[in-house]
Structure 1
Amino acid sequence: MKKPVLIALLLTLSLAIGCKNNKKENIEPEVTATEEQAVEPVQDEAIKVKIRLDPRSGSNVSGSAVFTEKDGQVTMVAVFEGLTEGTHAIHLHEKADCSADDGTSSGGHWNPTNEPHGKWGDAKGYHKGDIGNMEADAKGNATISFSTDQWCIGCGDANKDILHKAVIVHDAADDFKSQPTGNAGGRVSCGGIIQ
């Protein structure tokens, strides 16, 4: 008879301790105003779009570009191969359409603010697609990195949104003055900026 009473007593004691522990776990600590001010907001994740560029105008120029938007800044990093040694212009064009053999289906330079062609940041004006020039080495390889807060990826602002535009690599250098294209020559590589 002592055994069942002892077992019942132990079970009751176990349940009481278990409930007491559960109550402690469910109590949330009080946050003071100072602690609330110290909490930092979680940063938004970066938006990324990676594209491939294919040869145009009978060239062998191919490459890839990655566009990353974070904290209001878009960075483009692009690498190419198959270029002739020297300086080549790179621009954003109006449409992500690279169907024409010569790349002309991409339209003209992306210029939503109707500025004259020029060097990026020039007070006289420049297109939002006027990225500039890059140098190809003796093996035909080139890399370019470009960052701006004047672009966005998929934000819907017609003056900033680079989605559905094309990246065009030209055969020659941009002279930053000839209108409307900088006398950059033929389009040797094209890739649409599409998510």
Structure 2
Amino acid sequence: MYILYYLRILALPWGNEDTQKILDILKKYKINVTFFMTGGWVESYPDDVKAIKAAGHDLGNHSEHHKHMPQLSNSSICDELNSVTEKVEKLTNTKMCLFRPPYGDYNNALIEQAKNCGYYTIQWDVDSLDWKNYGVEPIVNTVLNHKSLRNGSIILMHNGAKYTAQALPKVIEGLQEKGFQIVPISKLIYKDNYHMEPDGSQVKDGE
């Protein structure tokens, strides 16, 4: 079984205190994931962006200003995405193609325009709720016992949340014990001949 896994990196004030810890944990378990980052975070922590790329992880786009994207014009949507991509490309020579809408706020028009701008829109279905800062065990239990956890799930965790780095090893080990293989989003998503369901999941056309 495969599970899509990503860590979303937010703009300030979340900072980068745990970035290296998280990278070290992922290296220990020989796992690559997807980091989504805003333009502000890229500007503030360029060395971390380079380190994430060097470690073999996906670099994902979380927009320039973390706005409610469906409220923007088509041209503004592309500006919000391309601005981050240009910054990351200058640092890493990598062109982003994955986009995670801020707040999980999306509609058909946003998905279509993001596609027109060259991005695959991603949504999660398992929220670790680590942003609540409610402790290690609650994070682990929330993920491993989540009603939506299944083959192809996308798990949301946050760089900078108080207990994420501490909970991550137990989350990884628990998922592996359940038979899941953790992979970055780019390794599993459909890129052609698919459609999006209302819950954000991809389905092959004809299924």
Select the structure that is richer in strand: 1
Select the structure that is richer in helix: 2
Ranked by relative contact order (alpha carbons within 8 Å, sequence separation 6 or more), the top structure is 2
Could you say whether these structures have the same fold, taking a TM-score greater than 0.5 normalized by the shorter chain as the test? Answer: no
Larger gyration radius, structure 1 or structure 2? 1
TM-score w.r.t. length of structure 1: 0.24
